[in-house]
Chain A
Amino acid sequence: MTPVRVRRRPGSILWMALGVGVPLAFLAVFFALPVAGMLGRGLIADGPFIEVLLRPRTLRLIGLTLAQAAIASVVCVLVGLPIAHVLYRLRFRGRGVMRALVIVPFVLPTVVVGVAFRTLLREGGILGFLGLDATFPAILLALVFFNIAVVVRTVGGTWEGMDRRQEDAARVLGASPRRVFLTITVPRLAPSIVAAASIVFLFCSTAFGVVLVLGGTRFGTIETEIWLLTTQFLDLRAASVLSIAQLVVVTALLLVAARARGRSTAQRRVGAVLSARAPRRGDMLPILATAVTALLLALPIVALLLRSLQSSEGWGLHNYIALGTTGARNALAVTVWEALGNSLTIAILATVIAVFIGLLACLALSRTPRTARGRRALEFFDGALMLPLGVSAVTVGFGFLITLNQPPLDLRSSFILVPVAQALVALPLVVRTVLPVLRGIDPRLRESAAVLGSAPWRVLRDVDLAIAARPVLAASGLAFAVALGEFGATTFLSRPDRPTLPVVIYRLIGLPGGDNFGMAIAAAVVLAAVTVLVIALVERLRVGTIGAF
């Protein structure tokens, strides 16, 4: 029997145009234009091009950047997978809280974590005997600490919705758990593992604060060098050369990732039922691994908590009480609580922008065009969405200043740039979390809905959006966390009368006097607590949506 041929309706072309057009327009204005502006400035300037690239220092920095990002991504995947299994495949009491807690490191301000890590690692610190202060492994540890949540949440979201029957069948037929895991689970998870690893890679390759604080300035990256060249030396030529090197590296990575994702298309099928079950004896290994990692993740956080309870008055809540003030001797323009209010408002806006644009993009990306050229164009579009993660915040930030300065885009002093910049960072996370699930939807579901007379918007609502609801919520939580913790672009754009919480923390930690430091740590704890709360609430919502299936 020949398959039913569904005539393409005009409606679906409209969706495609919206899905590709809106995100591309967004990226063109807020990413491509500023970056091109900066590169343009650098490249018209006189000076060496190849020479900059071949300097031993440049080559060493490119090598270091690649090495730290690659190693950190691999470690994140290896350590993150067992946690994703435990938190998303098993059902147990306290799971929701643990899922929310995992994200804490991801939102902590780098400068605070840097100080917390160094307090542990320095000579005479609790972990001083390891001799890790100002070493390459210290940077790696911190990068893994920050990014493990990306793997856990991205992979976990897919894993949770994955139909378990194939694995169960294999078990029944006598395959060992190991074999089931390696031959069924991993290949089916591959798209989201690759997605998570590439996000972590991009985050790590543009890491800035951590590398500086923990490497003791010895281990620069392309990112720290661009910062130095742009903000200190105003050597735009050399900065542009490095920005281009960064773009090439990132593009190469995205191509590799797209190929790796593409190979495993055949195996994806998403079930509509949650696959979590009660823990069994066979789960001991991942549970153990999760427990060990949880302890390691908790160490710097507990150190921070303890430090937040110490002030010049001794142990107690003085630092938290001080959050209602503007700090010792008027350190801040607003109280920490007001800054938290600003942060929440901006992060919600950023989340809405990122999810809206991300969803549109996902709807377009989840369709398979009939022509090879169409498929290639979509792949290109997919890569373009990821680029902002891999390009220096310094380049984009300075680019904003020199390109968004004339009507109708006279935005550089506008408040809206802050959430837009945060959304730019959150957008790839939304796409990578939601897309694997949408791609996994059996196209026959849509076709049958269409054959049965549903309008395209109805297909979209009742098939795509219904199935994607869970990952969309997961993505919103992640996007919100990114926006809340974002510092690099925010500090560049935020206005002094409306500082965000990370900006305020950074200011407090930059002033002498014991209680300012204590307040900074307490504020970081509050930032983490608020994030956990919001993520936990989103988890609750997720439980609510299951009934809608």
Chain B
Amino acid sequence: MQKIIPVALAATLLLAGCASAPTPEGPPSKLVLVTHDSFNLSEGTLAQFTEQTGIEVEVQAAGDAGELVNKLVLTKGSPLGDVVFGIDNTFASRAVNEGVLEDYVSGDLTDAESQYLLPADQGGEQLTPIDNGDVCINVDHEWFASAGLEEPVTLDDLLKPEYKNLLVAPAANSSSPGLAFLLATIAAKGDGWQDYWQALVDNGVKIDAGWSDAYYVDFSGPSSEGDRPLVVSYASSPPFEVQEDGTVPTGALLDTCFRQTEYAGVIAGTKYPKEAGQLVDFLFSTVVQNDIPENMYVFPVNAAATLPEGWSDYAKIADDPFVVSPAEIDANREQWLTEWAAIATP
């Protein structure tokens, strides 16, 4: 009996502690920002949010964009954090349909950024655009110059016999740029995408498991080991290959691009929706937006953000990238990938 009393007392205290938790008083001392693995900002950037609000930001990485969304879905009852960053247009529908996001979009968006907003029933009320980047075919200028061969321009050019065995792409079912490239072909070819891929395979496209494998092992660019002068990569890759003497050895084929836009949102079930909204606003503010290109290799969406030196010269973006709606991607992802695997990796 003597033992039971302190235990019961402790249990009561614990319960009391739990009961008081859901109704916090005043702002939190800390918000948890759940992101994908590629999230990175300069030291001190997030500290400015703390200076503004007195709230610290703890970053929790949760895998790539797909894993990130799936983790949010699985932990719906007890959320991983307060704000999420890194949901892209290929996974937005799943996040919205599963109800893992509160309705909140930053009020700081202007007309200049409204083009990045998702359609109303597919995340337009829950997700604030933060950055975007194009996935395009990268080309090794030097290789084509020394081979005396004209560079390809369009997706159709890739099927020409003179470009046989020159392209390497990461697999759509194990790499996010790989999936983006598949979506570009689906947007371009519609129902004919399977024939297009069969023709690509017949023309010797090489499929690697991941981006690093394709870029560093098979691509012929200056920092790579391989012998294929065409690779599926990002529009932001060429600036990183610019040599000290100013030569630009690689470039992006801007007619082959799929645009990935990344969003932030307030996670449903957060105890601090108001402060979480402030953090979303902060991610959209120029403080973070100016810091994004150098750290995450993508373009800020905020029209007021300034690009780092060199970006305007070397980092091009497509005028008219291929688009597939998030709802369509979500509805067809599994079927497309299964069909793609049957054609590309028999």
- Chain A residues in the interface with B (C-beta under 8 A): 41, 111, 114-115, 118-119, 122-125, 212-213, 215-218, 224, 228, 230-235, 312, 328-333, 398, 401-402, 405-407, 412-413, 491-492, 494-497, 507, 509-517
Considering the complex of A and B, which 10 residue pairs feature the smallest CB-CB distances, nearest first? A514-B223, A513-B240, A212-B209, A512-B237, A217-B171, A512-B240, A405-B78, A231-B67, A118-B217, A509-B212
By a CB distance below 8 angstroms, the chain A residues around B66 are 231-232
B-chain residues with CB within 8 Å of residue A213 when the two chains form the complex: 208-210, 213
CA distance A111 to B209 in the complex (A): 11
Q: What residues on A are CB-neighbors of B207 within 8 Å?
A: 216-217
Is residue B337 contacting chain A, with contact meaning CB distance below 8 A?
yes
Residue of A nearest to B291 (CB): A330
Kindly state the separation between the CA atoms of A328 and B36 in the bound complex, as whole angstroms.
Answer: 20
Is the CB–CB distance between B42 and A492 below 8 Å? no
Q: In the complex the two chains form, is B226's CB within 8 Å of A401's CB?
A: no
**Contact code string B287-330 (vs A, CB < 8 Å = 1, else 0):** 00000001101000000000000000000000000000000000
A-B contact pairs, 14 of them (CB 8 A): A115-B216, A115-B217, A213-B213, A216-B171, A216-B208, A224-B174, A234-B70, A329-B295, A405-B75, A492-B63, A496-B35, A507-B37, A512-B223, A517-B216
**Bound complex: CA of A71 vs CA of B125, how far in Å?**
54
Report the separation of the CA atoms of residues A328 and B239 in the bound assembly, to the nearest whole angstrom: 12
Are the CB atoms of A230 and B70 closer together than 8 Å? yes
Docked complex Cα distance between A516 and B173 (Å): 25
Q: List the B side residues contacting A216 at CB < 8 Å.
A: 171, 206-209, 345
- Encode contact with A along B330-341: 1 for CB under 8 Å, 0 otherwise: 000110010001
Binding site for A on B (CB under 8 A): 14, 18, 32, 35, 37-40, 42, 59-61, 63-64, 66-67, 70-71, 73-75, 78, 80, 94, 171, 173-174, 206-213, 215-218, 222-223, 225-227, 233-234, 236-237, 240-241, 243-244, 294-295, 297, 333-334, 337, 341, 345-346
Q: Contact between B80 and A413 (Cβ–Cβ < 8 Å)?
A: yes
Nearest opposing residue in chain B for A232, CB measure: B66
B94 touches which of A234, A328, A497 (Cβ 8 Å): A234
Q: Which residues of B contact A228 (CB under 8 A)?
A: 173-174
Note all chain A residues with C-beta closer than 8 A to B173.
217, 228, 232
B95–chain A nearest beta-carbon distance, Å: 11
| Pairwise interchain contact B74-A41, C-beta atoms closer than 8 A | yes
Which residues of chain A are near B337, meaning CB under 8 Å? 232-233
**A235 neighbours in B (Cβ, 8 Å):** 334
Cβ contacts under 8 Å, A125 to chain B = 225
Smallest beta-carbon distance A241→chain B, Å: 15
- Nearest A-chain residue to B219, judged by Cβ: A512
Q: Which of B80, B171, B218, B241 contacts A513 (CB 8 A)?
A: B241
How far is the CB of A16 from the nearest CB of chain B, in Å? 26
Looking across the interface, which residue of chain A has its beta carbon closest to that of B223?
A514
CB pair B223 A312 closer than 8 Å: yes
Nearest-Cβ distance from residue B134 to partner chain A, whole angstroms: 14
Q: Do residues A330 and B223 form an inter-chain contact, with CB atoms below 8 A?
A: no
Identify the closest chain A residue to B70 (Cβ). A234
Residue of A nearest to B342 (CB): A57
Least CB distance, A326 to chain B, in whole angstroms: 9
Nearest A residue to B208, CB-CB: A216
Which of A123, A510, A512: most chain B CB closer than 10 A? A512
Q: Do B174 and A496 touch across chains, with their CB atoms under 8 A apart?
A: no
Chain A hits for B240, CB < 8 A: 328-329, 511-513, 516
CA A232 – CA B65 in complex, angstroms? 9
CB distance from B85 to the nearest CB of A (A): 12
Contacts of A406 in B (CB 8 A): 78
Partner of A495 from B61, B64, B94, B345 at Cβ < 8 Å: B61
Query: Which of B14, B61, B206: most chain A CB closer than 10 A?
Result: B61
Inter-chain contact B294/A330, CB cutoff 8 Å: yes
In the complex, what residues of B have CB within 8 A of residue A331's CB?
40
List the A residue with the shortest CB-CB distance to B172: A217
For residue B94, which residues in chain A have a CB less than 8 angstroms away from its CB? 234
Contact status A510-B73, CB under 8 Å: no
Given contacts A312-B244, A512-B223, 5 further A-B contacts (CB under 8 A): A122-B217, A212-B174, A491-B63, A494-B61, A512-B237
Return B186 CB to nearest CB of chain A, in Å: 16
Residue of A nearest to B294 (CB): A329
Measured CA separation A95–B230 after assembly (Å): 48
Residues of B within 8 A of A124 (CB): 226-227
Query: Whole-angstrom distance between the alpha carbons of A230 and B71 in the complex?
Result: 10
Residue of B nearest to A507 (CB): B37
B40 closest partner in A (C-beta): A333
Q: How far is the CA of A452 from the CA of B201 in the complex (A)?
A: 78
Report yes or no: A398 in contact with B71, Cβ–Cβ below 8 A.
yes
Q: Name A118's contact: one of B35, B60, B213 (CB within 8 Å).
A: B213
Known contacts being A330-B42, A512-B215, is A217 close to B37, with CB within 8 Å?
A: no
Residues of chain A with a CB closer than 8 A to B213's CB: 114-115, 118, 213
| Minimum CB–CB distance for B19 against chain A, Å | 13
B75 to A: closest C-beta gap in Å? 5
**A495–B60 touching, CB < 8 Å:** yes
User: A407 to chain B: which residues have CB within 8 Å?
Assistant: 14, 18
Q: B218: which A residues are within 8 A, CB to CB?
A: 122
The CA-CA distance from A412 to B71 in the complex, in Å, is 12
Given A216-B208, A231-B67, verify A511-B37 contact (CB < 8 Å). no
A511 to B212, CA, bound (A): 8
Are A122 and B333 in touch, CB under 8 angstroms?
no
| Nearest chain B CB to A67 CB, angstrom units | 18
Q: Are A512 and B74 in contact (CB under 8 A)?
A: no
CA distance A330 to B18 in the complex (A): 42
- The reply to whether A212 and B59 contact each other, CB–CB distance below 8 Å, is no
Q: Identify B74's interface contact among A215, A328, A398, A514, CB under 8 A.
A: A398
Cβ contacts under 8 Å, A494 to chain B: 61
CA of A495 to CA of B208, assembled, Å: 29
Docked-complex contact B345 and A402, CB < 8 angstroms: no
CA distance A263 to B227 in the complex (A): 55
B225 A119 Cβ-Cβ under 8 A: yes
Question: Across the interface, which residues of A come within 8 angstroms of B236, CB to CB?
Answer: 512
Distance from A138 Cβ to chain B, minimum over Cβ atoms (Å): 12
Chain B: minimal CB distance from A96 (Å): 35
Query: Please, which residue of chain B has its CB at the minimum distance from the CB of A494?
Result: B61
CB-based contact A217/B345 at 8 Å: yes
Q: Please, which residues of chain A bring their CB within 8 A of the CB of B60?
A: 413, 495-496
Contact A514 B222, CB 8 Å, known A122-B217, A413-B32? yes
**B297 cross-chain contacts in A, Cβ below 8 A:** 511-512
Q: Name the A residues within 8 Å of B70 (CB-CB).
A: 230-231, 234, 398
Cβ 8 A contact of B212, one of A111, A122, A412 = A111
| Docked pose: A495 CA to B341 CA in angstroms | 33
Q: Could you tell me the distance in whole angstroms from the C-beta of A494 to the nearest C-beta in chain B?
A: 8
A510–B212 contact, CB under 8 A? yes
